[in-house]
A = this chain, B = another copy of it.
Amino acid sequence: MATFKLMLEYDGTDFEGWQSQPSGHRTVQGTLEAVLARIAGGRVPVAGAGRTDSGVHAEGQVASAALATRLGAHELQRALNAQLPPDLAVVDVEEAPGGFHARYDARAKVYRYEVWNAPSPSPLRARRTWHRPLPLDVAAMAAAAAAFEGTHDFSALRAAGSRAGDPVRTLHRVAVRGSAGGLLWVEVAGTGFLRHMVRNLIGTLVEVGYGRRAVGAMTELLAGRDRGAAGPTAPARGLTLVRVEYGPPAGGFPRRDRELAASALDSPEALG
Protein backbone atom coordinates (compact mmCIF):
# COMPACT_ATOMS: atom_id res chain seq x y z
CA MET A 1 0.00 0.00 0.00
CA ALA A 2 1.22 3.48 -0.88
CA THR A 3 -0.21 6.64 0.65
CA PHE A 4 -0.74 9.63 -1.63
CA LYS A 5 -1.36 13.30 -0.97
CA LEU A 6 -3.57 14.68 -3.75
CA MET A 7 -4.07 18.39 -4.37
CA LEU A 8 -7.45 19.09 -5.96
CA GLU A 9 -9.03 21.96 -7.84
CA TYR A 10 -12.78 22.03 -8.42
CA ASP A 11 -15.62 24.24 -9.53
CA GLY A 12 -18.12 23.48 -6.79
CA THR A 13 -21.18 24.75 -8.69
CA ASP A 14 -22.39 21.35 -9.83
CA PHE A 15 -21.26 19.32 -6.80
CA GLU A 16 -23.32 18.71 -3.68
CA GLY A 17 -20.29 19.42 -1.54
CA TRP A 18 -17.27 17.33 -0.63
CA GLN A 19 -18.72 14.54 1.44
CA SER A 20 -19.98 11.26 -0.01
CA GLN A 21 -23.72 10.82 0.26
CA PRO A 22 -26.30 8.20 -0.69
CA SER A 23 -26.29 7.52 -4.41
CA GLY A 24 -27.86 10.11 -6.65
CA HIS A 25 -25.87 12.91 -5.05
CA ARG A 26 -22.85 14.11 -7.01
CA THR A 27 -20.08 14.93 -4.53
CA VAL A 28 -16.37 15.62 -4.94
CA GLN A 29 -15.36 12.76 -2.64
CA GLY A 30 -17.74 10.33 -4.34
CA THR A 31 -16.54 11.30 -7.82
CA LEU A 32 -12.89 10.93 -6.81
CA GLU A 33 -13.46 7.61 -5.01
CA ALA A 34 -15.30 6.18 -8.04
CA VAL A 35 -12.36 6.94 -10.36
CA LEU A 36 -9.81 5.68 -7.80
CA ALA A 37 -11.77 2.42 -7.45
CA ARG A 38 -11.51 1.86 -11.20
CA ILE A 39 -7.76 2.51 -11.14
CA ALA A 40 -7.06 0.41 -8.02
CA GLY A 41 -9.57 -2.34 -8.76
CA GLY A 42 -11.34 -1.93 -5.42
CA ARG A 43 -12.71 0.61 -2.99
CA VAL A 44 -10.26 3.36 -1.93
CA PRO A 45 -11.51 5.60 0.90
CA VAL A 46 -10.40 9.23 0.53
CA ALA A 47 -10.10 11.83 3.31
CA GLY A 48 -10.35 15.54 2.50
CA ALA A 49 -8.78 18.35 4.51
CA GLY A 50 -11.88 20.54 4.27
CA ARG A 51 -15.39 19.11 3.92
CA THR A 52 -16.56 21.93 1.69
CA ASP A 53 -20.30 22.59 1.42
CA SER A 54 -22.38 22.38 -1.73
CA GLY A 55 -21.32 25.11 -4.18
CA VAL A 56 -17.99 25.90 -2.48
CA HIS A 57 -14.94 25.78 -4.78
CA ALA A 58 -11.35 24.68 -4.22
CA GLU A 59 -8.04 25.77 -5.70
CA GLY A 60 -5.99 23.68 -3.28
CA GLN A 61 -8.09 21.13 -1.43
CA VAL A 62 -5.93 18.26 -0.15
CA ALA A 63 -7.02 14.63 0.01
CA SER A 64 -5.24 11.53 1.26
CA ALA A 65 -5.69 8.01 -0.05
CA ALA A 66 -3.91 4.68 0.52
CA LEU A 67 -3.99 2.22 -2.34
CA ALA A 68 -2.18 -0.80 -3.67
CA THR A 69 -0.76 0.35 -6.99
CA ARG A 70 2.40 0.15 -9.02
CA LEU A 71 1.75 3.65 -10.38
CA GLY A 72 4.07 6.45 -9.32
CA ALA A 73 2.67 9.80 -8.16
CA HIS A 74 2.87 11.40 -11.59
CA GLU A 75 1.31 8.42 -13.37
CA LEU A 76 -1.49 8.28 -10.81
CA GLN A 77 -2.20 11.98 -11.42
CA ARG A 78 -2.40 11.45 -15.16
CA ALA A 79 -4.64 8.39 -14.80
CA LEU A 80 -6.99 10.31 -12.50
CA ASN A 81 -7.19 13.41 -14.70
CA ALA A 82 -7.89 11.27 -17.77
CA GLN A 83 -11.08 10.01 -16.10
CA LEU A 84 -12.24 12.91 -13.92
CA PRO A 85 -14.94 15.30 -15.22
CA PRO A 86 -13.97 18.84 -16.39
CA ASP A 87 -15.02 20.44 -13.09
CA LEU A 88 -12.62 18.35 -10.94
CA ALA A 89 -8.88 17.89 -11.43
CA VAL A 90 -5.86 16.64 -9.51
CA VAL A 91 -3.32 19.47 -9.81
CA ASP A 92 -0.55 17.76 -7.84
CA VAL A 93 0.22 14.33 -6.37
CA GLU A 94 3.02 13.29 -4.07
CA GLU A 95 3.66 10.10 -2.17
CA ALA A 96 3.20 10.72 1.56
CA PRO A 97 4.45 8.88 4.66
CA GLY A 98 2.22 5.92 5.62
CA GLY A 99 -0.57 7.09 7.91
CA PHE A 100 -0.71 10.60 6.45
CA HIS A 101 -4.24 11.94 6.85
CA ALA A 102 -5.28 15.06 4.93
CA ARG A 103 -7.58 16.34 7.67
CA TYR A 104 -5.95 15.23 10.93
CA ASP A 105 -2.48 16.33 9.83
CA ALA A 106 -3.53 19.72 8.48
CA ARG A 107 -2.04 22.65 10.37
CA ALA A 108 -4.15 25.41 8.82
CA LYS A 109 -6.55 26.13 6.00
CA VAL A 110 -6.91 29.28 3.95
CA TYR A 111 -10.24 30.31 2.43
CA ARG A 112 -11.02 33.25 0.15
CA TYR A 113 -14.45 34.80 -0.25
CA GLU A 114 -15.09 36.98 -3.32
CA VAL A 115 -17.72 39.71 -3.60
CA TRP A 116 -18.58 41.45 -6.88
CA ASN A 117 -19.35 44.98 -5.70
CA ALA A 118 -20.71 46.91 -8.69
CA PRO A 119 -24.18 48.12 -9.71
CA SER A 120 -24.62 45.51 -12.48
CA PRO A 121 -24.25 41.76 -12.16
CA SER A 122 -21.19 40.19 -13.82
CA PRO A 123 -22.10 36.99 -15.71
CA LEU A 124 -18.45 36.01 -16.15
CA ARG A 125 -17.95 36.19 -12.36
CA ALA A 126 -21.38 34.85 -11.36
CA ARG A 127 -20.24 31.33 -10.46
CA ARG A 128 -17.45 32.58 -8.18
CA THR A 129 -18.76 35.72 -6.49
CA TRP A 130 -21.59 37.14 -4.41
CA HIS A 131 -23.05 40.19 -6.14
CA ARG A 132 -23.65 43.12 -3.78
CA PRO A 133 -24.77 46.09 -5.90
CA LEU A 134 -24.43 49.00 -3.44
CA PRO A 135 -20.96 50.38 -2.62
CA LEU A 136 -19.29 48.66 0.33
CA ASP A 137 -17.03 50.53 2.75
CA VAL A 138 -13.93 48.35 2.45
CA ALA A 139 -11.98 50.22 5.15
CA ALA A 140 -14.78 49.67 7.68
CA MET A 141 -14.95 45.97 6.78
CA ALA A 142 -11.19 45.60 7.19
CA ALA A 143 -11.30 47.30 10.59
CA ALA A 144 -14.16 45.09 11.77
CA ALA A 145 -12.43 41.95 10.46
CA ALA A 146 -9.48 42.46 12.80
CA ALA A 147 -11.72 41.63 15.79
CA PHE A 148 -12.12 38.06 14.53
CA GLU A 149 -8.39 37.33 14.47
CA GLY A 150 -7.05 35.26 17.35
CA THR A 151 -8.64 32.54 19.48
CA HIS A 152 -12.35 33.05 20.19
CA ASP A 153 -15.59 31.25 20.91
CA PHE A 154 -17.24 31.52 17.48
CA SER A 155 -20.73 30.31 18.52
CA ALA A 156 -22.25 33.52 17.10
CA LEU A 157 -20.99 32.54 13.63
CA ARG A 158 -21.70 28.80 13.60
CA ALA A 159 -24.49 27.31 11.50
CA ALA A 160 -27.94 27.54 13.03
CA GLY A 161 -28.91 24.18 14.57
CA SER A 162 -25.30 23.10 14.57
CA ARG A 163 -24.38 20.19 16.84
CA ALA A 164 -22.55 20.51 20.13
CA GLY A 165 -18.75 20.54 20.34
CA ASP A 166 -16.03 22.99 21.20
CA PRO A 167 -16.90 26.30 19.47
CA VAL A 168 -13.43 27.77 20.08
CA ARG A 169 -11.31 28.30 16.97
CA THR A 170 -8.16 30.25 16.08
CA LEU A 171 -8.05 32.52 13.04
CA HIS A 172 -4.57 33.67 12.05
CA ARG A 173 -5.74 36.22 9.52
CA VAL A 174 -8.96 37.87 8.33
CA ALA A 175 -7.88 40.26 5.56
CA VAL A 176 -10.21 42.39 3.43
CA ARG A 177 -8.95 43.71 0.08
CA GLY A 178 -10.48 45.46 -2.90
CA SER A 179 -11.74 48.71 -4.19
CA ALA A 180 -15.19 50.28 -4.35
CA GLY A 181 -16.95 49.29 -7.56
CA GLY A 182 -15.19 46.04 -8.34
CA LEU A 183 -13.93 42.83 -6.91
CA LEU A 184 -13.59 42.62 -3.14
CA TRP A 185 -12.14 39.62 -1.38
CA VAL A 186 -11.72 38.39 2.16
CA GLU A 187 -8.99 35.91 3.01
CA VAL A 188 -9.51 33.87 6.17
CA ALA A 189 -6.80 31.59 7.54
CA GLY A 190 -7.19 29.40 10.60
CA THR A 191 -6.62 26.06 12.25
CA GLY A 192 -10.22 24.98 11.92
CA PHE A 193 -13.68 26.26 11.16
CA LEU A 194 -17.19 25.66 12.44
CA ARG A 195 -19.88 24.87 9.90
CA HIS A 196 -20.79 28.01 7.85
CA MET A 197 -18.38 30.05 9.99
CA VAL A 198 -16.64 31.79 7.08
CA ARG A 199 -19.89 32.50 5.25
CA ASN A 200 -21.54 33.89 8.41
CA LEU A 201 -18.46 36.02 9.03
CA ILE A 202 -18.75 37.41 5.47
CA GLY A 203 -22.48 38.07 5.84
CA THR A 204 -21.69 40.04 9.00
CA LEU A 205 -18.81 42.00 7.43
CA VAL A 206 -21.02 42.96 4.46
CA GLU A 207 -23.52 44.50 6.91
CA VAL A 208 -20.62 46.51 8.34
CA GLY A 209 -19.69 47.55 4.77
CA TYR A 210 -23.24 48.77 4.23
CA GLY A 211 -23.17 50.78 7.47
CA ARG A 212 -25.93 48.67 9.05
CA ARG A 213 -23.66 47.37 11.79
CA ALA A 214 -20.98 49.23 13.75
CA VAL A 215 -17.30 48.50 13.13
CA GLY A 216 -16.74 48.28 16.89
CA ALA A 217 -19.58 45.80 17.54
CA MET A 218 -17.72 42.60 16.59
CA THR A 219 -16.19 41.84 19.98
CA GLU A 220 -19.59 42.17 21.61
CA LEU A 221 -21.14 39.98 18.90
CA LEU A 222 -18.68 37.16 19.66
CA ALA A 223 -19.15 37.58 23.42
CA GLY A 224 -22.94 37.21 23.03
CA ARG A 225 -22.53 33.75 21.42
CA ASP A 226 -25.92 34.26 19.73
CA ARG A 227 -26.19 33.11 16.11
CA GLY A 228 -29.33 35.22 15.68
CA ALA A 229 -27.34 38.40 16.38
CA ALA A 230 -24.91 37.92 13.45
CA GLY A 231 -25.45 38.64 9.76
CA PRO A 232 -26.92 36.28 7.18
CA THR A 233 -25.01 33.33 5.67
CA ALA A 234 -23.26 34.54 2.50
CA PRO A 235 -23.89 32.26 -0.51
CA ALA A 236 -21.56 29.31 -1.06
CA ARG A 237 -20.53 30.32 -4.59
CA GLY A 238 -18.26 33.13 -3.33
CA LEU A 239 -16.17 30.76 -1.20
CA THR A 240 -12.99 28.97 -2.30
CA LEU A 241 -10.68 26.71 -0.28
CA VAL A 242 -7.34 28.19 -1.39
CA ARG A 243 -4.79 25.96 0.33
CA VAL A 244 -4.10 23.64 3.24
CA GLU A 245 -0.91 23.88 5.26
CA TYR A 246 0.93 20.92 6.77
CA GLY A 247 3.90 20.44 9.05
CA PRO A 248 4.67 22.31 12.27
CA PRO A 249 6.01 25.88 12.09
CA ALA A 250 9.71 26.36 12.86
CA GLY A 251 10.19 25.48 16.52
CA GLY A 252 7.09 23.28 16.59
CA PHE A 253 3.65 23.97 17.95
CA PRO A 254 3.05 25.10 21.48
CA ARG A 255 1.19 22.23 23.14
CA ARG A 256 -2.13 24.12 23.54
CA ASP A 257 -2.25 24.98 19.82
CA ARG A 258 -1.62 21.39 18.82
CA GLU A 259 -4.56 20.19 20.89
CA LEU A 260 -6.79 22.92 19.53
CA ALA A 261 -5.83 22.12 15.96
CA ALA A 262 -6.49 18.42 16.48
CA SER A 263 -9.88 18.98 18.10
CA ALA A 264 -10.94 21.55 15.54
CA LEU A 265 -9.98 19.51 12.53
CA ASP A 266 -11.33 16.25 13.87
CA SER A 267 -14.77 17.63 14.60
CA PRO A 268 -17.69 16.61 12.39
CA GLU A 269 -18.40 20.32 12.08
CA ALA A 270 -15.02 21.24 10.65
CA LEU A 271 -16.55 22.49 7.45
CA GLY A 272 -15.57 25.64 5.61
Contact = CB atoms under 8 A, between A and B. Distances in A.
A187 B160 CA distance: 48
A86 B121 contact: yes
A122 interface: yes
Contact of A11 (B11, B89, B126): B126
A90 B123 CA distance: 10
A269 interface: no
Integer count of this chain's copies in the complex:
2
Interface residues of A, number: 22
A128 interface: yes
Contact of A123 (B86, B92, B124, B126): B86
A113 interface: no
A226 B86 CA distance: 35
Contacts of A81: 120-121
Interface in A68-104: 77, 81, 86-92
A9 interface: yes
Interface string A43-82: 0000000000000010100000000000000000100010
14 contacts: A9-B122, A9-B123, A10-B124, A11-B123, A57-B124, A59-B124, A77-B120, A81-B120, A81-B121, A86-B121, A89-B123, A91-B122, A124-B128, A124-B240
